[in-house]
Structure 1
């Protein structure tokens, strides 16, 4: 297979955080694949139309990659996959949605139409692979999200300061309000603590977080969307990366934080415990448990040994997601 069509949300030019279509696609191009992309339309209805039209137009493609999510964008995967079936094109759903397991139960017939008829299903998460396998989907291949490690310079931190970094789109599914509440509680013990929150607005959560910070008189640095280079630069001013999400699959932002030498404290949801080992590579706490996250942060700040162990172990783990290694799995199914 040399000529590929990649279906997904290519929306970074509209201020949205780049998704896999804008990271995996260029990496595959570096390996010699010819790739056409769809779609960058901001309007969801027009985006679906553009995706369907592009599938028809490039029906001679060797295969179609389809970024597959669990919420509204799930229907893009349904529509394009069924057109691929009609046109007899091989298609490969890439399973991103942290709540796709719920879809398997809520829409079993539609899910079978998509995933039982695919050439392969690629899961970046062992959690989702297990969920699919349990329900009888055996054609699921685990290929983790990848990064180019040389783009993430490791900073050898000696001891943790109470300086926190949060990087994600401001969406309720990622629970940014928890980060605000955690920071408020942490400052009671460490008045000089800092919090930088990086990411674009998605559903009103940024406005809500800013208002909450104002109500609590917190000096949170909301940066908005930053380029990868810019947020890596400001990461040097922090020592701990906090992940507050309600649902998750295999967030690249955590891999990036691990690569940069930040200690990770995360909610223990979805694919996170399949990705990180508690007390070895990260500290994991229950969903939305502000008190436990604050306690975890305090333990990192107070224990240099724990902090150093987590940072070194997580950097070593991040090396497993280097593109040079991950690409071999992609080559196996595309060539």
Structure 2
């Protein structure tokens, strides 16, 4: 049995949305790997110390997986990868950070120390794969984020109603305020419209979004963090999924919405055009373009044929993200 050490932010017990470490890790365990995890400390300094200690503790593992982000957590990847090099451990950065492309340009030497010496670099986003290739990194392959499709029952909807669903952590980069601004316009046109926003607080954006809704006298349902089964059940009450982010790669919440039969209207930023095709499996708008998102929502409501075609195509695309398909690519790397 191969033993893996998975390094990342395992923080769901602190009320944070589960990240890849808590999704991919258990899937690999199902395939017969022994997986040790690090780290779950809420304090960043303690989390880094735990990560480094576990590299030392498990210095005989077969492979180290490192969730790699672009902001403060980038330095976790740097520190742990260099310790892996010291122990001659095979390590695989999994590239998540929305701003990693800027890291490649702004911190080229540090990035080379991480990514040039890795056993392999995994890019869940084709966008990031292209960015890394453009900077001369050849040891990058694309393996998409995986979902267990059987957990996402497709609900065939005949028509679109003005019931909007938003699922993400409340952080400025995901622009939750735009969802409220879109809802304000939709509500004036369709008084029966609803908006539900699902996700935990991250940087103070939840409070400011709630305040915005209050100022506009809008009734928005804020659920806080929900478990996967809870929000999947909730999704049956909604028809249109809005993704308002300023920057993104391959958001799992969008993949999940596609699987469930929701029509996706998203900002066309970062890796989104590598995931979604405008007018085929989603409708795309420019960053922070409230008016265009409103018109795209109206388009879905006015055109049942377009709505049904988009949701059908989205589900077909989502099937390519099923773990039963994606796992073969992981097995080829890890075995």
TM-score by length of 2: 0.99
Alpha-carbon distance in 2 for matches of 1:96, 1:115: 13
Residue 233 (structure 1) shift: 0.7
Alpha-carbon distance in 2 for matches of 1:63, 1:319: 28
Cα root mean square deviation, aligned: 0.6
1:45 aligns with 2:49: no
Aligned to 2:237, the other structure's residue is in SS state coil
Residue 99 (structure 1) shift: 1.2
Per the alignment, residue 318 of structure 1 pairs with 318
1:133 aligns with 2:112: no
Residue 294 (structure 1) shift: 0.6
Residue 98 (structure 1) shift: 1.3
Alpha-carbon distance in 2 for matches of 1:285, 1:99: 20
TM-score by length of 1: 0.99
Alpha-carbon distance in 1 for matches of 2:317, 2:66: 27
Residue 249 (structure 1) shift: 0.7
Per the alignment, residue 298 of structure 2 pairs with 298
Task: Report runs of 4+ in structure 1 exceeding 4 Å deviation.
Answer: none
Residue 106 (structure 1) shift: 1.1
Aligned positions of 1:96-175 closer than 5 A: 96-175=96-175
Residue 188 (structure 1) shift: 1.4
Q: Which moved more, 1:136-145 or 1:98-107?
A: 98-107
In the alignment, structure 2 segments of 5+ residues that lack a partner are none
1:224 aligns with 2:224: yes
1:29 aligns with 2:29: yes
Residue 186 (structure 1) shift: 1.0
Alpha-carbon distance in 1 for matches of 2:131, 2:30: 32
Residue 185 (structure 1) shift: 1.1
Per the alignment, residue 80 of structure 1 pairs with 80
Aligned to 2:105, the other structure's residue is in SS state helix
Aligned residues: 335
1:6 aligns with 2:6: yes
1:133-177 Cα distance to aligned partner (Å, 9 max, x none): 000001001000010111001111000000000000000010100
Alpha-carbon distance in 1 for matches of 2:52, 2:63: 15
Aligned to 1:165, the other structure's residue is in SS state strand
Aligned to 1:67, the other structure's residue is in SS state strand
Aligned to 1:273, the other structure's residue is in SS state helix
Alpha-carbon distance in 1 for matches of 2:14, 2:147: 23
Alpha-carbon distance in 2 for matches of 1:99, 1:247: 8
Aligned to 1:265, the other structure's residue is in SS state strand
Alpha-carbon distance in 2 for matches of 1:259, 1:102: 31
Q: Which moved more, 1:101-110 or 1:214-223?
A: 101-110
Alpha-carbon distance in 2 for matches of 1:108, 1:176: 32
Aligned to 1:23, the other structure's residue is in SS state helix
